[in-house]
Amino acid sequence: MEREKQSNEIRPRYCRYKGMIHFLKYVVLIHSFILGSIISILVKILSN
């Protein structure tokens, strides 16, 4: 009984971390995309 209770307590916390990791992945992707576009614009300005 005790072991079952522990696993049930751990599961929602794991799901929450999984969701946070998923969210962080999207944040990193968006930031890298924005940074990439800014860098390309700067390169265009500097090359002109």
Distance, in Å, from the CA atom of 33 to the CA atom of 47, rounded to the nearest integer, reads 21
Name the residue with tokens 């390309």: 40
Report the predicted TM-score, pTM, of the whole model to 2 decimal places: 0.51
Residues of the chain short of pLDDT 50, as ranges, are none
pLDDT at 43: 96
Query: Quick count: other Cβ atoms within 10 Å of Cβ 6?
Result: 10
Identify the pLDDT of residue 9.
66
CA 11 to chain centre: 20
pLDDT for position 5:
64
